[in-house]
Amino acid sequence: MCGIVGYIGTQAATDILLAGLEKLEYRGYDSAGIATVWEGEVNCVRAKGKLHNLRSKLEQIETPAQIGIGHTRWATHGKPEEYNAHPHMDTAKRVAVVQNGIIENYRELREELKGKGHQFVSETDTEVIPHLIAEFLKNLPPSSSSSPLLEAIRQAVNRLHGAFALAVISADYPDELIVVRQQAPLVIGFGQGELFCASDTPAIVSYTRAVLPLENGEIARLTPLGVEIYNFAGDRLKKQPRLLNFNPAMVEKQGFKHFMLKEIHEQPGVVRASLEAYFNPAESTESPINLGLPADLYTDLEQIQIVACGTSWHAALIGKYLLEQLAGISTQVHYASEYRYAASPVTANTLIIGVTQSGETADTLAALAMEKERRQGKEPKYQARLLGITNRPESSLGHLVPHIISTLAGIEIGVAATKTFTAQLMAFYALALDLAARRQTVSKDILEKIINGLRQIPKEIEATLESQERLTEQLAHEFAETKDFIFVGRGINFPIALEGALKLKEISYIHAEGYPAGEMKHGPIALLDAKVPVVAIAIPGSVYEKVISNAQEAKARDSRLIGVTPVKDGEAGEIFNDLLPVSDVEELLSPILTVVPLQLLAYHIAARRGLDVDQPRNLAKSVTVE
Ligand code: AGP
């Protein structure tokens, strides 16, 4: 996903913009650029590849400009080449724009503007914006507005269809930075005599914790005198900044080589924070869980539909298992990108859950928006049955659905989701147990036993991290050049096999697939030979023996077997060539543990291959395009 930064104040803008872009690198990008206004000109510098390429270009032409915008681009329209990098300018090079999102009607606008003499130099959708602004500026009646730049931009954005967060500067209005938000996040930061804007708070938090996230349909004018906010109709809005409870250290590596490794190690703390937040009701007698959700969200529930993507979809599969096995509610899980075009029949007693750590994934937001639309005009209870599970409650998701369960992972910088996945699992344990308590589908004793088991998990994760770090690093040496990996699991650990495969493929670029262990003999076993290792998750419980026999079948095809299991002797000791031992916990709770060695294995293999673990190629931290 692209990253936007902007600055207007009393300091030199260039270094502040570069530092902000560095804090947004985790979003994934393939080119970058900065534009500033100095001595009546727009000074625009762009570079393909990583930020150090841009930095070295800037060092040769640095100016003391005190206003500017910056951008890291994740290519959607047009190759990741310098000529497509942002900022983009109008023909006269008087207006510079950076954008996150997609302009869906850019082709018609481009043709219209070309017809008016505007010359285009890129393949991007974004480039229509500076030309459109210049066109409106040219046609504004003199003194028709106290800020012609603001008015021209307001008129321009009313012509745009799609999702766009913008930051705009102009050589003719050197004291104004204009920002716009429509379906893509943008936040304003309030410093001492200086103002910031960014796609996400990590780019701002080093300078200020006073922030104001813009909402959809809002446009703001930042000047040395302060901030004015308007809607797209031009009406002035009154809004107050709020203080972020954000620790700048959270966006530092703190001695770890990569953010991903740091975030894997933060998981015990994430589980503790979740236990503290969800499992400490005030004086509730009906349920030992406190999710802050209204009771009528639960009454008469007949079914649950969950929409999500990627790792969040894997968390949703575990949520399904928990909601069905503990609360007895039929639950379906859908890829959000598919659900949008084949929505399930729902009733007033259907709860729709959207799971997205970023709260900005376009497919998930679109599926939820469709569900919200379907409910328009229906009874209030029906409309209320939309729930989001997200790590960013201030995101677009937070504005879209009436109810949110905030996961408590803290900012996750690594593109590969790790601690946010664990946080999502904790939210699903809490939701399933809450529903089970209210529907009395599980006795108080069993509830208490499960919750006590969860309270042991943080220290079990710590023990697993302690024992696995070296083991997985050693294994990584042997598998760094492997071409194919198979992960298998059954029951509540089948989604963990999927997650282990996704982690490996997305950061090491090694082909990996996850399967239900029982499915191997229905085709995939044909893939197996000595060159294809198999990771099997074998946890004592309802399916342990079956997984062991599936592992036997794989071993008979000469695959090297890696076992994620607490069992060290007997069959497990004989079958598995390598063991990734985990603590012996209840099968129901085991996914929070079994995912950890798979995260570490993927991490160490990718690190061994010398790859960019925190920003894997082609990936973005949240995918705001469809
Ligand atoms: C997970 O490691 C991937 N980065 C990706 O699959 C991610 O889970 C997916 O894009 C969904 O993101 P979200 O949770 O922010 O919606």
Choose between 101 and 187: higher pLDDT.
187
Same domain, 159 and 188: yes
Which of 43-52, 59-68, 253-262 ranks highest by mean pLDDT? 43-52
The answer to whether residue 189 is domain-embedded is yes
Residue 271, pLDDT > 80, answer yes
Q: Which residue in the list 262, 320, 503, 621 is annotated as catalytic? A: 621
Instruction: Flag whether 448 is in a domain.
Output: no
Q: Mean pLDDT, to the nearest integer, of 170-180?
A: 98
pLDDT surpassing 90 at residue 371: yes
Report whether residue 394 contacts ligand 1, using a CB cutoff of 6 Å: no
**pLDDT in the model for residue 295:** 81
Looking at the structure of the chain, the number of domains it has is: 3
What angle do helix axes 591-608 and 494-508 make, rounded to 10 degrees?
20
User: Residue 393: inside a domain, yes or no?
Assistant: yes
Same domain, 45 and 180: yes
A 10 A CB-CB count for 622 gives 24
Of 64-78, 272-286, 364-378, the poorest mean pLDDT is in 272-286
**Helix axes 51-59 and 13-23, enclosed angle (nearest 10):** 170
pLDDT confidence of 394, banded at 50, 70, 90?
confident
The answer to whether residue 346 is domain-embedded is: yes
Ligand 1 binding pocket mutation candidate from 1, 361, 498 (most atoms within 8 A of CB): 361
Residue with tokens 């942002």: 86
pLDDT at position 126 over 90: yes
Q: Are residues 168 and 140 in the same domain?
A: yes
Ligand 1 contacts CB of residue 357 (under 6 A):
yes
Beta bridge partners of 350: 303
Query: What is the arithmetic mean of pLDDT over 265-285?
Result: 87
Q: Which of 221, 250, 279 is the last residue of a domain?
A: 250
Both 246 and 278 in one domain: the answer is: no
Determine whether the shortest distance from the Cβ of 311 to ligand 1 is under 6 A: yes
Q: How far apart are CA 489 and CA 536, in angstroms?
A: 6
* 335 and 190 housed in the same domain: no
Please report the pLDDT score of residue 541 as a whole number. 93
Ligand 1 binding pocket includes 598 (Cβ within 6 Å): no
Least confident span in 6-10, 84-88, 97-101, 409-413: 409-413
CATH number at residue 192: 3.60.20.10
The residue whose C-alpha atom lies closest to atom 5 belonging to ligand 1 is 310
Each residue of 524-534: pLDDT tens digit? Answer: 999 999 999 99
* Cα distances (angstroms) measured from residue 551 to each of 117, 485, 609: 68, 14, 28
178, 167 Cβ separation under 8 angstroms: yes
Same domain, 230 and 257: no
| Sheet (strand 67-73) strand order | 41-48, 31-38, 67-73, 3-8, 195-198, 187-190, 210-213, 242-243
Confidence of residue 289 (pLDDT cuts 50, 70, 90): very high
| pLDDT of the residue at 251 | 66
Question: Is ligand 1 within 6 A of the CB of residue 361?
Answer: yes
Please check the confidence at residue 324 and state whether its pLDDT lies above 80: yes
Q: Among 66-80, 356-370, 488-502, whose mean pLDDT is lowest?
A: 66-80
Which tops the pLDDT comparison, 238 or 298? 238
If you take atom 7 of ligand 1, which residue's CA is the nearest one? 310
Same-domain pairing of 260 and 237:
no
Same domain, 262 and 229: no
Find the 309 Cα to ligand 1 centroid distance in Å: 6
pLDDT band at 1 (very low <50, low <70, confident <90, very high): confident
> Does residue 560 share a domain with residue 479?
yes
Give the closest residue (by CA) to ligand 1 atom 4: 416
The answer to whether 44 is a known catalytic residue is: no
Ligand 1 atom closest to the Cα of residue 623 is 10
The mean of the pLDDT values for the chain is 93
170 Cβ below 6 A of ligand 1: no
Position 498 in a domain: yes
> Which stretch of DSSP H or E encloses residue 3?
strand 3-8
For a pocket test of ligand 1, which of 311, 419, 622 has the largest count of ligand atoms closer than 8 A to its C-beta?
A: 311
Note whether residue 142 is domain-resident: yes
Q: How far does the centroid of ligand 1 lie from the alpha carbon of residue 292, in Å? A: 25
Letter string b/e over residues 405-427, b meaning 16 or more CB atoms within 10 A of that residue's CB: bbbbbbbbbbbbbbbbbbbbbbb
State yes or no: is 309 an active-site residue.
no
The reply to whether ligand 1 has any atom less than 6 angstroms from the CB of 337 is no
Strand order in the sheet with 236-237: 88-89, 95-103, 162-170, 177-182, 218-223, 226-231, 236-237
CA-to-CA distance for 165 and 187, rounded, in angstroms? 10
pLDDT band at 154 (very low <50, low <70, confident <90, very high): very high
Q: Tell me, what CATH number does 323's domain have?
A: 3.40.50.10490
- Over 70: is that where the pLDDT of 587 sits? yes
Is the distance from CB of 620 to CB of 27 less than 8 angstroms? yes
Among the listed ranges 153-157, 251-255, 483-487, 542-546, which one has the minimum average pLDDT value? Answer: 251-255
Question: In the chain, pLDDT over 70 holds for what percent of residues?
Answer: 98
282 and 150 both lie in a single domain: no
33 in a domain, yes or no?
A: yes
Mean pLDDT in residue range 106-126? 96
3-state helix, strand, coil in the chain (%, to 5): 40, 20, 40
Mean pLDDT to the nearest integer, 257-276: 95
Q: Is residue 430 part of a domain?
A: yes
Q: Is 202 within 8 Å of 253 (Cβ atoms)? A: no
Q: Is 310 in the pocket of ligand 1 (CB under 6 A)?
A: yes
Nearest atom in ligand 1 to 622's CA: 15
Going by pLDDT thresholds of 50, 70 and 90, the confidence category of residue 4 is very high
User: End of a domain among 442, 474, 498?
Assistant: 442
Residue 60 reports pLDDT greater than 90: no
Residue at which a domain ends, from 418, 442, 466 = 442
Q: Are residues 316 and 285 in the same domain?
A: yes
Give the pLDDT confidence of 195-240 residue by residue, as tens digits. 999 998 889 988 998 999 999 999 999 998 899 999 999 999 999 9
- CB neighbour burial string for 18-39, b if at least 16 within 10 angstroms, e if fewer: bbbbbbbbbbbbbbbbbbbbbe
Q: What is the pLDDT, as a whole number, of residue 369?
A: 94
CA-to-CA distance for 197 and 203, rounded, in angstroms? 8
Q: How confident is the model at residue 249 (pLDDT cuts 50, 70, 90)?
A: low
Is residue 248 predicted with pLDDT exceeding 70? no
356 lines ligand 1 (CB under 6 A): yes
> What range defines the domain where residue 19 resides?
3-250
pLDDT of the residue at 161: 95
Which one of 312, 394, 614 would you pick to mutate in the ligand 1 pocket, going by the greatest count of ligand atoms within 8 A of its CB?
A: 312
Count of Cβ atoms closer than 10 Å to residue 550 Cβ: 25
Q: Identify whether residues 264 and 243 lie together within a single domain.
A: no
C-alpha atoms less than 13 angstroms from C-alpha of 465 in its C-beta half-sphere: 16
Evaluate whether 272 touches 419 at the Cβ level (below 8 Å). Answer: no
User: What is the C-alpha separation between 161 and 90, in angstroms, rounded?
Assistant: 20
Cis before 87? omega within 30:
yes
Dmax (CA) of the chain: 87
9 Cβ closer than 6 Å to some ligand 1 atom: no
172-179: average pLDDT: 97
Bridge partners, residue 403, by sequence = 387
Question: Which of 358, 406, 603 is the best mutation target for the ligand 1 pocket, counting ligand atoms within 8 Å of the beta carbon and taking the most?
Answer: 358
- Confidence category of residue 618, pLDDT binned at 50, 70, 90: confident
